[in-house]
Amino acid sequence: MNIILLGPPGAGKGTQARKLVDERNMVQLSTGDMLRAARTSGTEMGKMVAAVMDRGDLVTDEIVIGLIREQLESDNPGGGYIFDGFPRTLAQADALGRLLLDMGENLDCVIEMQVDDDALVDRITARATCKDCGEVYNDNTKPIPADGKCSNCGSSQIERRADDNEESLRTRLMAYYKQTSPLVGYYYAKGDLKSVDGLASMDEVAESIARALG
């Protein structure tokens, strides 16, 4: 089964993708994580996208489609793919459709995670992530353990993302509404869309997603 998690920054796509990986043996393809990895390892592409990402704008379709193509060509998981943070433009959505078709695969479901904008700003400015395992913390609902070590993997590398500040969040939200939200209509018209309330608790959202996937 191949699915897309669609929603604005802070909707909980990464958190839910990680649960699906654990529970359904699926592979998470997060273009945001791939771009951050390229920056950390200092590749030319990583250097090129750094400022764009920190500002909160989208990097070019060509770059992210290339990253996804590489991943799709390199492994073929039994449980299928979870696309997290991709596609974000209509051109990316068309490209993904073509890539899957070429592989003889289908897109089975697009889950739209709905959340209101005030909640996003609160969530994102309170967010921290374990650099080693991706566990997500929140100052209000799931604070970083007092010893500073990740409760999932024990790493002490819990960090706040450079773009998780109010200013770049506004730009990211604007990019979402201008460039990504048309995908809701696009996938609705294709008959692939299911919407869930992303403001419910993490477990409730996971249950809604499980129901949507059938």
Those residues with Cβ within 8 angstroms of residue 62's Cβ, 6 or more apart along the chain or in another chain:
none
**Contacts within 8 Å (CB) and 24+ apart, 162-166:** 162/53, 162/54, 163/53, 163/54, 163/55, 163/56, 164/124, 164/125, 164/127, 165/125, 166/121, 166/125
Cis preceding-peptide flag for 87 (omega within 30 of 0): yes
Q: In what order do the strands lie in the sheet with 136-138?
A: 136-138, 127-130, 158-159
Residue 58 as a binder of ligand AMP (CB under 6 A): the answer is: yes
User: What is the closest distance, in whole angstroms, from the C-beta atom of residue 209 to ligand AMP in the complex?
Assistant: 18
Q: Which residue is nearest to ligand AMP (CB)?
A: 32
Q: Which residues are catalytic?
A: 13, 88, 127, 161, 172
Residue 193 as a binder of ligand AMP (CB under 6 A): the answer is: no
Q: Which is nearer to ligand AMP, 86 or 137 (CB)?
A: 86
Among 7, 12, 32, 198, binds ligand AMP (CB under 6 A): 32
Residue 86 as a binder of ligand AMP (CB under 6 A): the answer is: yes
Q: Which is nearer to ligand AMP, 50 or 149 (CB)?
A: 50
Residue 169 as a binder of ligand AMP (CB under 6 A): the answer is: no
Binders of ligand AMP in range 7-26 (CB under 6 A):
9
Q: Residue 160's Cα: distance from chain center in Å?
A: 16
Among 5, 53, 95, 158, binds ligand AMP (CB under 6 A): 53
Residue 196 as a binder of ligand AMP (CB under 6 A): the answer is: no
Those residues with Cβ within 8 angstroms of residue 130's Cβ, 6 or more apart along the chain or in another chain:
136, 137, 150, 152, 153, 155, 157, 158, 159
Residue 144 as a binder of ligand AMP (CB under 6 A): the answer is: no
Binding site for ligand AMP (CB under 6 A): 9, 31-32, 35, 52-53, 56-59, 64, 85-86, 88, 92, 163, 172
